[in-house]
Structure 1
């Protein structure tokens, strides 16, 4: 059964998952599926997708500015220096998702990011290698045609885990791939599908 894009009051059809919440609509229109090549921004989205596991993405989106404040703009060089006391402070921050394992995982991932950087490996290159440097454009007809994970996300997840990154299972990685435009899964009937 085809689930067409949802027609909004502005006359534009959008993927139905974004609903009508202005924050979600803006994210859908300006970020989701748009290629991101900045290593720090890619790292931020991967970490946020890790925090999202078990929650609705809109929850994370509403807390994103709080996360950016709490995690020093997701600067890996600053995050890598976080100690147990800083983790305890973050656990008291009601503006973010207070999950100790996820907070500690973000710190570990920041250290791995820096280790790769010191070895001359770009995080952006690492991520984009999963799709041979080109956005994989899909044009699903319905939400049910969009997989939770793919062979590419499983391979990237395995690579990230092998390097020591945390909270990067294949479903989380696929969500990050969509968020960063490594994959463009806008429905064929969505106005954003015309970008490519």
Structure 2
């Protein structure tokens, strides 16, 4: 398993070692001992989530506040997405910056998004099946977000605005400037 830290400290891209033969392929998608050794911290995942989306569906940018903050290990089971993490740690050198990584069933990459980050993704293929582990349980009252087309973050979602499908709830999320007022 190859684990590399991104320009956003604490956020990692994971590439599995894939073993191919005439029957197909095999890979280890998660090994807690190896994962924790390479990221340098202990993470106890307590909840797995999965979603199915059509092309252009954008989910995010989401995060949870305070003691309900979540770290996530995300991957794609079918299709292809652009996965985005936004650094919301006010004391970070990369505060307000983002990274975008293409995750697909084909490349089998994963991304570890630590606590203190906003997270979202958009489906680039006809459909996608997206799965992720969380290190904290979902708590509706602490759920927050940032509008996907925030003018200060300027995320390139790789699709035309007319192709992007956002839920009514996500379309009403505040700007980055407003959302960070609530952060500790």
TM-score band w.r.t. shorter chain: under 0.3
Q: TM-score, normalised by structure 1?
A: 0.21
Structure with the higher strand share, 1 or 2 = 2
Q: TM-score, normalised by structure 2?
A: 0.22
Larger Rg: 1
Which has the larger share of helix?
A: 1
